[in-house]
Structure 1
């Protein structure tokens, strides 16, 4: 049975709310600061121009991989239920803007770069902290739209590494949010334009 756009969108909203709740709980447990102070620090606009520059450079690094994969003919989704759901949602401009571009860029970065990555760095070291967080980020995104398609799955891992490095450099979430947001917007555009499609 085909899901409606609203059902798909609702699932995305619920998933993002879960990410936000997990992030707040983990931050509350692990941070020595007040939760409000911790969140304010993560979303600080103090180094806004620097974060903007790092975000643009990071997006270039992520989009270069996507460009190469598309040009090599490897930028496609397998013909699965998950792929069809993604393509269906992308074709709804308003829902995809909120459910794929905006919310995940903010809330996933809050959880993975803002909360999990500092924990991983504390447990291991900066190098392995970024790698482990990117790996967890990739694992969370594994679904059947990546079945037999390692190039797109590795893209998620690469996105996690680049956003992780951006967060380490800037010490706030705006650069990583910007990279994630631009990446998701660009991916949505490529799917909508037929450059990334379902391989039947």
Structure 2
């Protein structure tokens, strides 16, 4: 029954679902499949915002729900380059070696759509990696963890040992910035901490 849920999540991500559940929210998952190609001349910021908004809108249209629909997109950005999900082992190792000894940004856009309203927020976190060796990148790939992760790593998993420092929202790097998400949801009258 729809009234048992607080919102619809336009994603199959178990990480995003767990973060929303951490806020005490009951979510109905409704994954959407979109073309995630970067447009010519599109900045990383514009890219993640566009994808989050497209996911939220597609989730609302395809599910037919009257609940607020949350769409989100996370990208790892090194300089002006968006590092997406790895295509294979060689691609993953290449990305991890690019991140080795460098600071990069993790950008997550969160969009919420309900009826004719669409609002979005962007969170950016600075992450610094220690110097990595190709051998440990290869061993990390064989754990299976980086296969479906932007930038080929999961900060909440084994890749935590690569991270020298984090400046900004940690939950943003996991896949959903909880501070900004809570504020956005409250603008749609979803209260995180309800009074008795």
The answer to whether the superposition gives a TM-score over 0.5 is no
* TM-score (norm. length: structure 2): 0.28
Higher helix residue share: 1
